[in-house]
């Protein structure tokens, strides 16, 4: 069976790096992006099984990424992470479209469990 | 609790405003210090966890968390200064310095106020980043370990920034991220053509002048790289340029400096940096200028010969300069040494050494044929091998990791260390797939008990610790199993594989240390000391989700998985950089509060500051309460907050109720044990009243009692007798002073439901018998208190014991024992006419036998 693929988008390198390292250990294929623009470019070429994205980024932010993905690949699950924990309104609005939502710092173990659920592995 | 407490204080001190204001304010400050310290430790614990590798975090998190920590410790310091009348102004300076270092790390920029050139003896603990790893480690060998190194100075990373700025190179480097070979070549040329700002030239000139003054006009230098992290987590071995035989002149050193700096942008080095996740152009380089050694022989020592031979070290040696060995160009001698207290030459293989590298003075170095007669001779005698090995072991122990050390022996047979860096040791047999499956068949000894302080999977033999003085006896690689945790375990941490305790909290000093050193640690298992056997081989699996499993035996499969993850995580640069700030926060250097070392100057980290303030805050409060206490009989002869305690033993005591210290509202001034509500006071009294403690050998009510100063009801207050027995008590606090004749007991205790706030401070001094007897009594008390886990200092007839961080019930138990001890020992000195009695009586006392004659 082919490896599941995960796209990670965050404007801070450390987040993508650590996520890549952690997911690769579990046998996933991971690509990381530092902004929404480059991620959307890549999405035109490749469908990922799960997308993990930061919410607040300069330029194309997490919400825009989410909308584009839902248009391109309605079945792809999106997990949102953000440093701003009290965005209740945003969470509410996103509830239907987002598979999961985590405030940063997010426990890698929980993120992994969420990815598994998104892939129907659990 | 606090409100009642202060109301109590106000009532008590209402009549004497001076005393009231003094003690009330100080007690408030004391409480605020404890509170600030607690918040600091919590923030520290939280950061340690989030930055520990199990979380995705970004710099916003790190900034926010550090800001919270800084605000807590600053608040604590303000109150501490109030409490101690600004007695320790140095603490604020230290905190400011730590803050500067952390902020610099968070912003990723070097401060321009730091020096451009530093001589090695002046390199301090906090300059690792400024002088780069290689300079820092070599200087540490001399400054901390007093091992021999050549004369040297460092040109700092600040100088690097200044040099780039002076030559307008910053923007160019910032744009280098994806640069190709041509762009890199251009940058190198620009660096080589660069000029030097005046201040840098001036500082260099001064450093070179003093070098020539010490070594002579003809001395030459090795000018070598020392990048920020070089020889730290990553060796960068051989990645950068080293220029040998550089004359001690400004012009020559400047040329060499530029060559070394330019080597940052050589193709090999660039790919290495990219592999490690550096953004090209971000790595800063310091440079070391080290006096050349007129080497007779040189070489390299590995303090671990190989993954399979961890108990041996290997030393390779060749004639002349070390380049021959480092570059592997000659068949060197190879010596193997068995490690141990007295290292032993294990094997020796004499290489052919056909070539050697020689120093031609200012014209450089040359590789030449080794004279035929010299080839078959060993480069090192056995004594030299052993001496090198001894130094290697010292260095390995200090840096807590296997080391790769370069050395040289000069023509006068003096040995110099030239470099020390971490040695990566390959693990043998990296196979094994499904870890969980590997554990099947191993009996489970403990499962899901306790709190994981530091996750990790590790195996080792159980060492059950009963006394702190057994710490020295723990064999390397043991898993320490103890009843409760103690900051004193830090001494043993370099040799421990893991720690498991019955009782403990994840925010203790010890817990922080374990996280800092990544020692797998589980506290509060409840039963580890009874379930695990001394000497038993076990595997501890402490998971990131808090799961704990202890297997009997060594589960190899689990161990392998763990090592791989840790090694990969270390390779993320940004992760390392942010985690690095914990270095200024978490390590605890002040371990024994009773040592001379316990001074503000010794505080290096936030954790040190917290510990220092806690200790001195307790002392300040005690001093203050004692001062107030002596005056109580004058102020409170008939006041309602002061009660005379009537006990069924010949001891009179005044209790000052600070709030919740006594039950209900006792009608009269005289009250009994049953009315004592203060948890710590009640516990001590219970011990003093325990059957047999006071009635030893019928000395109870003879003239000796009068002599021993136990005052009677009729003597108090006023009259000739001086009231010396005073307890200031609230529901969770007591400060008591007891005087029996010529000796004095002082006890200060906070006993609440928050273990971290709890402490016992006990002091005993004096006695009427001869000093030998008095000091025997001190020894006896010390033996008993050591059993309870007190940190002790004893000198002559003075004993100071300090204990903290235990839970309420434990504190109560210890206080009761202390109460027994106070009663038991009050006239014991006269009876201790031999040293044997000390041990016998101490042992009996611990068994509940309070007879004082053999």
The reply to whether B375 and B507 lie within a common domain is no
Residue B426 confidence (pLDDT): 53
Over the Cα atoms of chain A, what is R_g? 13
Angle at A97 between CA A94 and CA A103, to 5 degrees: 50
Q: Do A107 and B55 touch (CB under 8 A)?
A: yes
Q: Do A14 and B59 touch (CB under 8 A)?
A: yes
**Can you give the three-state secondary structure of B132-175, one letter per residue?**
HHHHHHHHHHHHCCCCCCCCEEEECHHHHHHHHHHCCCHHHHHC
Residue B512: enclosing H or E segment and its boundaries?
helix B509-516
**What's the residue count for chain A?**
122
- Distance, in Å, from the CA atom of B242 to the CA atom of B541, rounded to the nearest integer, reads 45
Cα of B75 to nearest chain A Cα, Å: 26
Q: Do A108 and B55 touch (CB under 8 A)?
A: yes
Residue B75 confidence (pLDDT): 95
Pairing state between β B152-155 and B117-119? antiparallel
Q: Do B545 and A109 touch (CB under 8 A)?
A: yes
Average pLDDT over residues B521-527: 89
C-alpha distance from residue B374 to each of B202, B319, B322, B352 (Å): 45, 9, 17, 10
Q: Is B519 exposed, middle or buried (0-12, 13-18, 19+ CB in 10 A)?
A: buried
For domain A5-118, is the CATH number 3.40.50.2300?
A: yes
Q: Is B121 exposed, middle or buried (0-12, 13-18, 19+ CB in 10 A)?
A: exposed
Helix (H, G, I), strand (E, B) or coil at A79: strand
Residue B511 confidence (pLDDT): 73
The reply to whether B538 and B654 lie within a common domain is no
- Is the pLDDT confidence value at B701 over 50? no
Residue A95 confidence (pLDDT): 66
Q: Do B574 and A17 touch (CB under 8 A)?
A: yes
Disruptive mutation site among B55, B56, B568 for chain A (greatest number of A CBs within 10 Å): B56
Average pLDDT over residues B793-818: 87
pLDDT band at B712 (very low <50, low <70, confident <90, very high): very low
- Distance, in Å, from the CA atom of B413 to the CA atom of B296, rounded to the nearest integer, reads 8
Residue B251 confidence (pLDDT): 95
Number of domains in chain B: 5
Instruction: Please write the tens of the pLDDT for every residue from B580-608.
Output: 788 889 877 776 555 667 889 888 899 89
Q: Do A10 and B575 touch (CB under 8 A)?
A: no
The reply to whether B728 and B745 lie within a common domain is yes
- Is the pLDDT confidence value at B829 over 60? yes
Backbone angles phi, psi at B816, to 5 degrees: -65, -45
Residue B17 confidence (pLDDT): 43
Alpha helices in B664-733 (DSSP H): 679-688, 703-707
The reply to whether B161 and B280 lie within a common domain is yes
End-to-end CA, chain A: 17
What residues of chain A lie within 8 A of the CB of B568, using their CB? 21, 25
Which residue in chain B has the smallest CA separation from A11?
B58
Residue B640 confidence (pLDDT): 44
What residues of chain B lie within 8 A of the CB of A108, using their CB? 54-56, 544
B481 C-beta neighbours (distance < 10 Å), count: 26
- Distance, in Å, from the CA atom of B332 to the CA atom of B326, rounded to the nearest integer, reads 10
Lowest-confidence region among A26-30, B134-138, B608-612, B726-730 = B726-730
Percent above pLDDT 70 for chain B:
79
**B728 in a domain, yes or no?**
yes
- Is the pLDDT confidence value at B710 over 60? no
Residue B586 confidence (pLDDT): 82
Return the DSSP state at B676.
Answer: B
What residues of chain B lie within 8 A of the CB of A106, using their CB? 55-56
Average pLDDT over residues B574-579: 75
- Distance, in Å, from the CA atom of A50 to the CA atom of A30, rounded to the nearest integer, reads 10
Instruction: Please write the tens of the pLDDT for every residue from B743-802.
Output: 778 898 999 999 988 999 888 877 767 777 888 899 999 999 999 999 887 766 778 888
Disruptive mutation site among A13, A14, A112 for chain B (greatest number of B CBs within 10 Å): A14
Beta strands in A5-115 (DSSP E): 5-9, 29-33, 50-54, 77-82, 100-103, 106-107
Nearest to A17 among B50, B61, B575 (CB): B575
Torsion of CA B662, B667, B669, B674, to 10 degrees: -40
Angle at B608 between CA B752 and CA B466, to 5 degrees: 60
The reply to whether B284 and B300 lie within a common domain is no
**Angle formed by the axes of helices B509-516 and B606-630, nearest 10°:** 170
Alpha helices in B751-794 (DSSP H): 771-787
Residue B569 confidence (pLDDT): 60
Residue B794 confidence (pLDDT): 74
Which has more pLDDT, B271 or B1? B271
What residues of chain A lie within 8 A of the CB of B54, using their CB? 107-109
What residues of chain B lie within 8 A of the CB of A85, using their CB? none
Q: Do B56 and A111 touch (CB under 8 A)?
A: yes
Residue B716 confidence (pLDDT): 30
Which has more pLDDT, B660 or A115? A115
- Distance, in Å, from the CA atom of B465 to the CA atom of B458, rounded to the nearest integer, reads 19
In sequence order, the 6+-apart residues with CB closer than 8 A to the CB of B99 are: B70
Residue B665 confidence (pLDDT): 58
pLDDT band at B1 (very low <50, low <70, confident <90, very high): very low
Residue A22 confidence (pLDDT): 87
C-alpha distance from residue B425 to each of B137, B303, B428, B562 (Å): 19, 10, 9, 16
Cα of B16 to nearest chain A Cα, Å: 51
Percent above pLDDT 90 for chain B:
31
**Can you give the three-state secondary structure of B585-599, one letter per residue?**
CCCCCCCCCCCCCCC
Note whether B254 and B167 are within 8 A (CB).
no
- Distance, in Å, from the CA atom of B369 to the CA atom of B358, rounded to the nearest integer, reads 10
Q: Do B56 and A109 touch (CB under 8 A)?
A: no
Helix (H, G, I), strand (E, B) or coil at B493: helix
Q: Do B58 and A109 touch (CB under 8 A)?
A: no
Which residue in chain A has the smallest CA separation from B578?
A14
The reply to whether B263 and B407 lie within a common domain is no
pLDDT band at B109 (very low <50, low <70, confident <90, very high): low
- Is the pLDDT confidence value at B246 over 80? yes
- Distance, in Å, from the CA atom of B639 to the CA atom of B417, rounded to the nearest integer, reads 73
pLDDT band at B125 (very low <50, low <70, confident <90, very high): low
Residue B31: enclosing H or E segment and its boundaries?
helix B17-50
Residue B679 confidence (pLDDT): 95
- Is the pLDDT confidence value at B706 over 70? no
What residues of chain B lie within 8 A of the CB of A17, using their CB? 277, 572, 574-575
- Distance, in Å, from the CA atom of B633 to the CA atom of B621, rounded to the nearest integer, reads 20
Residue B540 confidence (pLDDT): 93
What residues of chain A lie within 8 A of the CB of B59, using their CB? 12, 14
Q: What residues pair up with B746 in beta bridges, in sequence order?
A: B737, B763
Structural domain boundaries in chain A: 5-118
Instruction: Please write the tens of the pLDDT for every residue from B320-373.
Output: 988 767 665 677 888 999 998 889 999 998 888 888 888 887 677 888 888 999
Residue B324: which domain range? 295-422
Residue A67 confidence (pLDDT): 87
Instruction: Please write the tens of the pLDDT for every residue from B378-392.
Output: 999 999 999 999 999
Q: Do A21 and B544 touch (CB under 8 A)?
A: no
What residues of chain B lie within 8 A of the CB of A13, using their CB? 277, 574
Preceding peptide of B717 cis, ω within 30°:
yes
Which has more pLDDT, B250 or B1? B250
The reply to whether B300 and B277 lie within a common domain is no
Instruction: Please write the tens of the pLDDT for every residue from B275-329.
Output: 666 777 778 899 999 999 989 999 989 898 766 677 889 898 999 988 767 665 6
Residue B475 confidence (pLDDT): 86
Average pLDDT over residues B430-447: 68
Residue B15 confidence (pLDDT): 42
**B272 in a domain, yes or no?**
yes
Which residue in chain A has the smallest CA separation from B278?
A13
Q: Do B568 and A21 touch (CB under 8 A)?
A: yes
Cα of A46 to nearest chain B Cα, Å: 24
pLDDT band at B719 (very low <50, low <70, confident <90, very high): very low
Residue B822 confidence (pLDDT): 92
- Is the pLDDT confidence value at B22 over 80? no
What residues of chain A lie within 8 A of the CB of B57, using their CB? 14-15, 104-105
- Distance, in Å, from the CA atom of A55 to the CA atom of A78, rounded to the nearest integer, reads 11
The reply to whether B34 and B57 lie within a common domain is yes
Residue A111 confidence (pLDDT): 94
Alpha helices in B230-338 (DSSP H): 250-262, 267-275, 323-326
Q: Which of B109, B134, B166 is the last residue of a domain?
A: B109
What does pLDDT average to over chain A? 86
- Is the pLDDT confidence value at B671 over 90? no
Q: Do A14 and B544 touch (CB under 8 A)?
A: no
Which residue in chain B has the smallest CA separation from A108?
B55
C-alpha distance from residue B269 to each of A77, B161, B188 (Å): 41, 19, 13
Lowest-confidence region among A81-90, B325-334, B657-666 = A81-90
Instruction: Please write the tens of the pLDDT for every residue from B743-756.
Output: 778 898 999 999 98
End-to-end CA, chain B: 47
What does pLDDT average to over chain B? 80
Q: Is B584 exposed, middle or buried (0-12, 13-18, 19+ CB in 10 A)?
A: buried
Note whether A40 and A16 are within 8 A (CB).
no
**B188 in a domain, yes or no?**
yes
Lowest-confidence region among A78-87, A96-105, B232-241, B533-542 = B232-241
Per-residue b/e over A59-72, b at no fewer than 16 CB within 10 Å? ebbbbebbebbeee
Residue B382: enclosing H or E segment and its boundaries?
helix B382-399
Which has more pLDDT, B363 or B419? B419
The reply to whether B205 and B234 lie within a common domain is yes
Residue B431 confidence (pLDDT): 37
What residues of chain A lie within 8 A of the CB of B545, using their CB? 109
- Distance, in Å, from the CA atom of B820 to the CA atom of B633, rounded to the nearest integer, reads 27
Which residue in chain B has the smallest CA separation from A17?
B572
What residues of chain B lie within 8 A of the CB of A104, using their CB? 56-58, 60-61
The reply to whether B411 and B545 lie within a common domain is no
Beta strands in B620-688 (DSSP E): 642-646, 653-659, 670-672
Note whether B181 and B267 are within 8 A (CB).
yes
Query: Taking the alpha carbons of B817, B823, B826, B830 in that order, is the dihedral positive or negative?
Result: negative
Residue B382 confidence (pLDDT): 94
Preceding peptide of B813 cis, ω within 30°:
no
Domain of residue B537, CATH code: 3.50.30.10
Which has more pLDDT, B481 or B767? B481
Average pLDDT over residues B189-202: 93
The reply to whether B683 and B810 lie within a common domain is yes
Q: Do B56 and A106 touch (CB under 8 A)?
A: yes
Q: What residues pair up with B480 in beta bridges, in sequence order?
A: B463, B499
């Amino acid at each position: 069976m082919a490896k599941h693929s995960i796209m990670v988008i965050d404007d801070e390198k450390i987040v993508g790096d650590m996520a890549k390292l952690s997911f690769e250990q579990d046998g996933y294929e991971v690509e990381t992006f530092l902004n929404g623009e480059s991620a959307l470019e890549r999405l035109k070429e490749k469908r990922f099984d799960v997308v993990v994205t930061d919410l607040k980024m300069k330029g194309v932010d997490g919400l825009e990424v989410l909308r584009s993905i839902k248009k391109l690949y309605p079945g792809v699950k999106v997990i949102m992470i953000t440093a701003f924990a009290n965005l209740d309104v945003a969470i509410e609005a996103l509830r239907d479209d987002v598979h999961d939502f985590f405030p940063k710092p997010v426990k890698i173990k929980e993120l992994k469990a969420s990815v598994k659920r998104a892939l129907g592995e659990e | 609790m606090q409100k009642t407490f202060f109301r109590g204080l106000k009532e008590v001190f209402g009549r004497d405003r001076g005393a009231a204001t003094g003690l009330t304010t100080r007690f408030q400050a004391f409480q605020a210090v404890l509170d600030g310290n607690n918040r600091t430790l919590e923030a520290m614990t939280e950061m340690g966890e989030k930055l520990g590798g199990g979380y995705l975090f970004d710099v916003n998190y790190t900034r926010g968390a550090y800001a919270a920590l800084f605000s807590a410790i600053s608040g604590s310091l303000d109150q501490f200064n109030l409490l101690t009348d600004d007695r320790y102004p140095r603490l604020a300076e230290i905190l400011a310095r730590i803050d500067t270092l952390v902020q610099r790390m968070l912003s990723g920029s070097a401060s321009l106020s730091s020096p451009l050139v530093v001589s090695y003896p002046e390199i301090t603990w906090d300059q690792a980043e400024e002088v780069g790893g290689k300079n820092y480690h070599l200087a540490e060998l001399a400054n901390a370990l007093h091992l021999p190194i050549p004369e040297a100075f460092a040109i700092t990373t600040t100088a690097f920034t200044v040099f780039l700025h002076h030559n307008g190179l910053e923007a160019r480097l910032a744009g280098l991220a994806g640069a190709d070979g041509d762009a890199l070549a251009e940058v190198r040329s620009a660096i080589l053509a660069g000029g030097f700002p005046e201040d840098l030239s001036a500082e260099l000139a001064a450093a070179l002048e003093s070098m020539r003054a010490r070594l002579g006009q003809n001395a030459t230098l090795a000018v070598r790289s020392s990048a920020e992290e070089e020889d730290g987590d990553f060796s960068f071995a051989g990645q950068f340029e080293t220029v040998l035989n550089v004359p001690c002149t400004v012009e020559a050193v400047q040329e060499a400096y530029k060559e070394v700096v330019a080597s940052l942008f050589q193709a090999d080095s660039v790919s290495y940096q990219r592999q490690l996740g550096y953004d090209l152009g971000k790595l800063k380089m310091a440079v070391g200028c080290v006096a050349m050694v007129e080497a007779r022989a040189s070489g390299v020592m590995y303090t671990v010969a190989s993954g399979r031979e961890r108990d041996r070290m290997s030393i390779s040696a060749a004639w002349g300069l070390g380049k021959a060995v480092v570059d592997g160009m000659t068949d060197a001698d190879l010596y193997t040494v068995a490690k141990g207290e007295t290292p032993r030459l294990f094997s020796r293989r004499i290489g052919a050494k056909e070539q050697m590298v020689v120093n031609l003075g200012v014209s450089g170095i040359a590789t030449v044929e080794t004279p035929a007669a010299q080839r078959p001779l060993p480069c090192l005698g056995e004594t030299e091998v052993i001496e090198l090995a001894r130094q290697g072991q010292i260095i390995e122990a200090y840096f807590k990791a296997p080391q790769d050390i370069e050395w040289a022996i000069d023509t006068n047979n003096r040995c110099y260390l030239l470099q020390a860096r971490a040695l990566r040791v390959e693990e043998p047999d990296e196979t094994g797939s499904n870890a969980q499956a590997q554990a099947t068949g191993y009996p489970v000894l403990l499962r899901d008990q306790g709190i994981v302080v530091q996750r990790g999977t590790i195996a080792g033999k159980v060492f059950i610790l009963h006394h702190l003085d057994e710490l020295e006896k723990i064999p390397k690689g043991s898993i320490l199993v103890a009843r409760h945790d103690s900051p004193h375990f830090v001494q043993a941490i370099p040799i421990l594989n893991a720690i498991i305790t019955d009782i403990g909290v994840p925010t203790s000093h010890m817990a922080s240390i374990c996280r800092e050193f990544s020692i797998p640690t589980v506290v509060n298992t409840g039963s580890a000391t009874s379930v695990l056997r001394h000497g038993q081989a076990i595997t501890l699996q402490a998971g990131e989700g808090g799961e704990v499993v202890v297997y009997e035996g060594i589960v190899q499969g689990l161990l392998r998985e763990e090592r791989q993850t840790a090694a990969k995580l270390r390779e993320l640069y940004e992760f390392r950089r942010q985690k690095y700030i914990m270095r200024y926060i978490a390590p605890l250097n002040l371990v024994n509060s009773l040592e001379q070392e316990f001074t503000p100057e010794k505080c290096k980290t936030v954790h040190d500051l917290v510990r220092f303030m806690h200790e001195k805050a307790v002392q300040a409060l005690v001093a203050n309460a004692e001062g107030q206490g002596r005056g109580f009989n004058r102020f409170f002869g008939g006041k309602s907050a002061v009660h005379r305690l009537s006990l069924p033993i010949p001891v009179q005591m005044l209790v000052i109720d600070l709030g919740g210290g006594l039950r209900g509202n006792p009608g009269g001034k005289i009250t009994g044990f049953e009315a004592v509500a203060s948890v710590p006071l009640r516990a001590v009294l219970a011990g003093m009243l325990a059957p047999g403690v006071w009635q030893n050998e019928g000395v109870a009510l003879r003239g000796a009692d009068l002599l021993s100063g136990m005052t009677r009801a009729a003597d108090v207050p006023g009259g000739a007798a001086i009231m010396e027995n005073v307890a200031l008590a609230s529901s969770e606090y007591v400060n008591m002073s007891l005087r029996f004749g010529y000796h004095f007991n002082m006890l200060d205790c906070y006993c609440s439901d928050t273990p971290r706030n709890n402490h016992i401070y006990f002091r005993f001094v004096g006695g009427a018998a001869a000093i030998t007897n008095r000091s025997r009594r001190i020894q006896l008390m010390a033996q008993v208190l050591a059993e309870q886990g007190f940190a002790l200092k004893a000198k002559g007839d003075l004993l100071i014991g300090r204990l903290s961080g235990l839970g309420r019930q434990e504190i109560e138990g210890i206080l009761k024992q202390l109460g027994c001890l106070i009663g038991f020992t009050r006239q014991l000195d006269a009876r201790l006419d031999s040293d044997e009695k000390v041990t016998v009586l101490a042992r009996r006392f611990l068994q509940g036998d309070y007879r004082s004659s053999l």
